[in-house]
Amino acid sequence: MSAGKYSFTIEQGATLQFEIQYKDSTNSPVDLSAYNGRMQVRPTVGSSEVYLTLSSTLQSDGTGLNFSGSNGNIPPISGSIGIYISAATSSNLDFNEAYYDLEIYSGSGANEYVVRLLEGKVKLSKEVTR
C-alpha cells in the first residue's frame, strides 16, 4: 500500500486537531493495538533538520499521535489516529512550508514492521495576535 497524500496547514499559536482512519482493503478499521506511531516535519524530504516530531507517546501538553482518536475515547481497534498539536507547541514553530510523513510501526530492530500512512506538505500560517 502506498502512503496517502494529504497536505494541511498549521495555524501558529492555535491548536491543531484532526483525525484519520486507517482501513484495510475491505474498508474495515485496522486494529492499532500492537502499533506505535511517529511523524516528523522537516524543511525538505532529505533534510536532517526536524521542525516537529510527533509520536504515540504524547507530550505533557497532549501534542502527539493519539491512537484512541482525537478525543481519546475511541478504542485502538477503530483504526483511528488523532493528530494533535497544542497552541503552545504551534506558537514555537517558525517555517513557511515543510514536508512530513506519518508512520505506524510494531516490533523493533530487524523485526520492525513499518507502514507509511500519509505524506505531504505542511504550511504554517503565521500568527499576528500574540
Say what the pTM is. 0.90
98 falls within a domain:
yes
Range of the domain at 113: 4-125
Give the integer Cα–Cα distance in Å for 43 and 20. Answer: 23
Supply the pLDDT for residue 69.
66
19 falls within a domain:
yes
pLDDT digits (tens, 9 = 90+) for 53-85: 999 999 999 999 998 766 666 666 788 999 999
Q: Please count the structural domains in the chain.
A: 1
Q: What share of the chain in percent tops pLDDT 90?
A: 81
Angle at Cα 17 formed by Cα 15 and Cα 19, nearest 5°?
A: 175
CATH number at residue 106: 2.60.40.10
